[in-house]
Structure 1
Amino acid sequence: MGNRVMMSVVTIVAACFISACSSGAEEDKQHAVDVEVRKEGFPIVDEEITMTMMGPNAQGTEWKDMPFFQDYAEETNIHFEFNTPPASDFGTNLNLALSSGDLDDIIYGPIDLTSGMEGEYGEQGLFLPLEDLIEEYGPNMKKVLEERPDIKKSITSADGHIYALPHINTDHRGKWVNPVWYNGKWLDSLGVEELPESTDELYDLLIQFRDEDPNENGEADEIPISSEGMDPIRMLFLNAFGLKSQGIEEIDGEVRYAPITENYKEYLIYMNRLYEENLLDPETFSQSEDQVNAKGQENKIGLLGGYYSYFLTGEANDEAVNNPMTVPLTSPVSDELIVTASQGFNRGAFILTEENPYPEASIRWADYFYTEDGGVYLDQGPEGYRWEWADEEKNKRNQLPLPEGYDNTEEYRKTLTPSYGIAAPFLNPPLEVKEEPDAFALFTIDETEEKREPYYQVAIPEVSIKREEQKEINTIEVDLESYVEQMEAKFITGVEPISNWDKYVETIKGMGIDRYVEIHQEAYDNWRSN
């Protein structure tokens, strides 16, 4: 990093005195004392300190080996011992830590941490309130919250405290929710010039995919749509039927539960038709991600559900510009063009626990990432790996060639930084700030501006739910979400006939869905009134 992160030649030093104030079994716990924390500039502390950090490993690389953590430790004098279970197991590990009180100093990028959990553990004293720390030691975060009151009210818990820093994405991909792409080779083979704009037109194209040998191998091995479950492709079809979510959504101020609407029923009928006619892979609900990717790399899939199409096809970036993004679809029950969008930020990305001996230093450590330079640093890793400065003034970055053995940028990036695959605590700046966009990046910018941005709708804003009401939601969700997903698969595959729709709806109502919606309606109304 060097001088590029120096915020000022003048360093204001604040002494932060932290004393041990525990009793019983806590009396022997080591606490820090007399730690001087700089309010500006680096290093953050003059003497090296060490803390513990818990986070979900979605990268496959040990965090201690990442250049980001190694480089930033040298700049800040803040080092970490890491507790990073696999992302798939993180929720279980976090719940065990919270229930036992055996907490690390910092929880980084936690998965499935609800607003109610933030508030509950905050009120119990397990999570530290951050608003005063932000005021004193987080000037960049403070500026963001002043400029984005929507973010501030969404990360503020029902008790009025902020217990976690957010992940904020201003990149053009920041609002993407499950994009879907066409196999461009198949479109070229079939001479398709206009992409489908309705579910009927898509059905016709899928028939062509199935019957007209678009992969040109002389075999009937084409799979028009294949996916690992419905998650990667579901939103394209829900949107076509006038829905923004497979759960709670807000329509003109009214909150509803999408899976019991007539529109959702029509979605199931359509997907069942695709399944019955071998347009949707019969292995959709049983195969792994690796199995889907293997089919994609053999050029057997026509509709590609993935963050980038090359995740499935194995193509190089410059080849993937031939795979166009789907356009929003209409259907017989909805003529509105909808693309579900995230708000561009997530709450709960960085938490200080009651065990943290250096809260001021911890906020300073994270605050740099809410600047453009800091955002690039966390997202792309230190200079010299993915990028280098293109000019002495440090106004422009050049992207460096991939090292040997890496086929695409994401495969390499995930070895450098913990921002891959989780909601890391930072402000992710626009792509053009991070690097000179290549052909693929320019392609995704154009596709987003044309096919997504004009039709963006958020299912429901990030709202704060009171502690007791979150407990009610958790109780309901235990059975509700698994039941809805199981029944989705059964309806689509025909194991459950759609004639049993009314029975399905009654079952959901018996799970307390009216109360579930009521709680979300109240939270939404409170959010809107703030």
Structure 2
Amino acid sequence: MEESNMKKMKRIISAALTLALAAGMLAGCAGSSSGTPAASSAGGASAGSSSAERERITVRVFRSKASHEVAMDQMDVFKVMGEMFNIDFEFDNPPQENYTERLNLVMMETELPDVIMEIPVTDVLKYGETGVILPLNDYIENSMPNLKAEMDKRDGVEKALTYSDGNIYYLPMLDETPSGNIPYIVRTDWLDQLGLERPVTIEDWENYWSLVKTTDLNGNGKNDEIPFSAYEIERLRNFCTAWGVLDDFYTDPTDGGKVHYGPIEDKYKEALVWMNDMWNKGYIDQEIITTDYSAFSAKLAQNIVGSFAGPLGGMLAAQNATMAESVPGFHVAATEPPKGEAGVQIHTNIDLVPRAVVGATITSTCKNVDRVVEWLDYMYSAEGQMLLNMGIEGTHYTMQDGEPIFTDYILNNPDGLSPKQAVGTFTIAQGTMPSVLCFSETSQLDDAAVLEAKENCIIPFLEESNKYVIPGTLSFSSEKDAERRAAMADIETYVDEMVMKFITGREPIENWDTYVAKVKEMGIENVIGIYQEALDAWNS
């Protein structure tokens, strides 16, 4: 009986690992095809010290497992790095949906994993101040030349990583091309039927929705088209950006960059009046309040939704890839952020510049910190970046005109895996990692609609959006963070309830002042002060 394609691939990969280690063929992410090792003594085995000469150690790593990934102990990149650095990896790799629950249990153990990846950024300072994770300033400065070099290339990274106590507690995932996600998405084939361009202004959106509501665009003889839907009502609430206000804490450049809480601003009230009008006209899916991601995806498959908001890969690319088979001519595309009388276009789900997502932390119980630092720093070297992003040359990619190009194992997988799933069989690069996310990877995995969305609908609005969006790396002292969290637990519950009632008309907008007074009574002004203090410290 013939071996499966997967078994054949495993044999090929095994041979490729040996060749990769013997020939040092892993090139740099920045277009270097010379296979030059890391340029520093922190390059571990690649910098001249044979892994065979050193004691083999065990390194325990905690990280979530995304749905498109195999278990980390099956990934080829960790097999390669294990041999390079004489490390046996032990992974605690819970499913992504169980990560927080599992992390809370792990943090109560006496013997922690050596490395924890993906700690929520809002929890980092807490674990740093209590000594659970190590400050990394000295290691970055003296023992991690590859990471230091990448940080020095990017203005603001060190500032973004430094917490209010002056320490750096995590190693970042950096990005060559910051962008964003979750734009508004529209049926361009329906726009073509109606003779319309993609909506930009609030008036454009209202006109498109009106026509979707009254036209049999799916041709089934029924009046079942839904102008706008989403898998959570927050996607509708984000239309408030057209009024120059965010559905959260934000900074207002027209007010000297002061911190505001959107849901109590008069501009937000104006947005709610409009949303209520859209709701009453039947333009908004009446099930949007209760629809989850799974149910919404099923609704999209019915060919009845005219516009929505969702992830670039999970919805924009996925819809174009799957729906065209059953609906001839089907096509969706992203839109620019909605524009109102305020004249601003703000995309809230953006990669802040500089992008420095939590990649990895080292715990205080790690017994081989120097060896772990050496290994982690390798992941920021040109060679390490190529390995993490592209895999093994000859197996996962080939060099063509000096550029790494994915093979058919990724782009036309013989086992029917999507490109994202195929990448997930050998690396964590489609998730979060302590390395640099390289353009050579993302540009090949993004389909044409995703590339167009980034180029025309997100990136041109990053500069303006950054004036409003508060940095995700903003840090609070443990005391202030506890105070903030306690207040917001009740405030957010009340705000969510009332905003939903204002949109649906169950609460008349005439009761707005009473609502705002209640939110202030619950302590929102104190929380705004906490954010302002943290932002002032960050800016200084």
Instruction: Report the TM-score range of the alignment, normalised by the length of the smaller protein.
Output: 0.7 to 0.9
Alpha carbons of structure 1 residues 371 and 303: separation in structure 2 relative to 1, 3 Å: farther
Match of 2:490 in 1: 479
**Residue 170 (structure 1) aligned to one of 176, 184, 207:** 176
Match of 2:506 in 1: 495
Match of 1:417 in 2: 427
Aligned counterparts, 1:9-158, within 5 A: 12=41, 40=47, 46-59=54-67, 61-110=70-119, 112-114=120-122, 117-158=123-164
Match of 2:230 in 1: 227
Range with bigger deviation, 37-46 or 213-222: 37-46
Q: Is the 8 A contact 2:174 2:436 kept in 1?
A: yes
SS of equivalent to 2:334: coil
- Note if 1:323 corresponds to 2:332: yes
Match of 1:314 in 2: 319
Q: Which amino acid counterpart does residue 130 of structure 2 have in structure 1?
A: Q
Q: Is the 8 A contact 1:250 1:460 kept in 2?
A: no
Q: 2:466 & 2:171 partners in 1: Cα distance?
A: 24
Q: 1:378 & 1:449 partners in 2: Cα distance?
A: 26
Per-residue CA deviations over 1:120-160 (Å, capped at 9, x if unaligned) read 32222211111111223311211123233411112112221
Alpha carbons of structure 1 residues 121 and 308: separation in structure 2 relative to 1, 3 Å: closer
Q: Which amino acid counterpart does residue 170 of structure 1 have in structure 2?
A: E
SS of equivalent to 2:205: helix
SS of equivalent to 2:228: strand
Alpha carbons of structure 1 residues 73 and 481: separation in structure 2 relative to 1, 3 Å: farther
SS of equivalent to 2:284: coil
Q: Which amino acid counterpart does residue 51 of structure 1 have in structure 2?
A: V
Range with bigger deviation, 159-168 or 492-501: 492-501
Q: 1:204 & 1:13 partners in 2: Cα distance?
A: 59
Q: Is the 8 A contact 1:431 1:437 kept in 2?
A: no
Query: How many angstroms does 1:205 deviate by?
Result: 0.4
SS of equivalent to 2:173: strand
Q: 1:101 & 1:452 partners in 2: Cα distance?
A: 47
Q: 1:13 & 1:267 partners in 2: Cα distance?
A: 54
- Note if 1:161 corresponds to 2:163: no
Query: How many angstroms does 1:43 deviate by?
Result: 6.5
Q: 2:166 & 2:200 partners in 1: Cα distance?
A: 45
Q: 1:404 & 1:38 partners in 2: Cα distance?
A: 34
Q: 1:321 & 1:299 partners in 2: Cα distance?
A: 9
Gaps of 5+ in 2: 1-19, 27-34
Q: Which amino acid counterpart does residue 364 of structure 2 have in structure 1?
A: E
**Residue 397 (structure 1) aligned to one of 385, 393, 405:** 405
Q: 1:364 & 1:233 partners in 2: Cα distance?
A: 46
Q: What RMSD in Å do the two structures reach over aligned CA positions?
A: 3.2
**Residue 338 (structure 1) aligned to one of 341, 346, 354:** 346
Q: 1:406 & 1:234 partners in 2: Cα distance?
A: 38
TM-score by length of 2: 0.82
Alpha carbons of structure 1 residues 321 and 409: separation in structure 2 relative to 1, 3 Å: farther
Q: 2:322 & 2:146 partners in 1: Cα distance?
A: 34
Alpha carbons of structure 1 residues 527 and 231: separation in structure 2 relative to 1, 3 Å: same
Q: 2:136 & 2:368 partners in 1: Cα distance?
A: 13
Q: Is the 8 A contact 2:241 2:345 kept in 1?
A: yes
Comparing both chains, which one has the higher relative contact order based on Cα–Cα distances under 8 Å and sequence gaps of 6 or more? 2
Match of 1:515 in 2: 526
The count of residues paired between Structure 1 and Structure 2 equals 496
In proportion to residue count, which structure has more helix? 2
Match of 1:275 in 2: 279
**Residue 244 (structure 2) aligned to one of 221, 242, 245:** 242
Q: Which amino acid counterpart does residue 126 of structure 2 have in structure 1?
A: E
- Note if 1:181 corresponds to 2:185: yes
Match of 1:20 in 2: none
Q: Is the 8 A contact 1:310 1:317 kept in 2?
A: no
Aligned counterparts, 1:256-267, within 5 A: 256-267=260-271
Alpha carbons of structure 1 residues 158 and 381: separation in structure 2 relative to 1, 3 Å: same
Alpha carbons of structure 1 residues 486 and 435: separation in structure 2 relative to 1, 3 Å: same
Gaps of 5+ in 1: 15-36
Q: Which amino acid counterpart does residue 175 of structure 1 have in structure 2?
A: S
Alpha carbons of structure 1 residues 123 and 276: separation in structure 2 relative to 1, 3 Å: same
Q: Which amino acid counterpart does residue 159 of structure 1 have in structure 2?
A: D
Q: 1:74 & 1:222 partners in 2: Cα distance?
A: 57
Alpha carbons of structure 1 residues 151 and 228: separation in structure 2 relative to 1, 3 Å: same
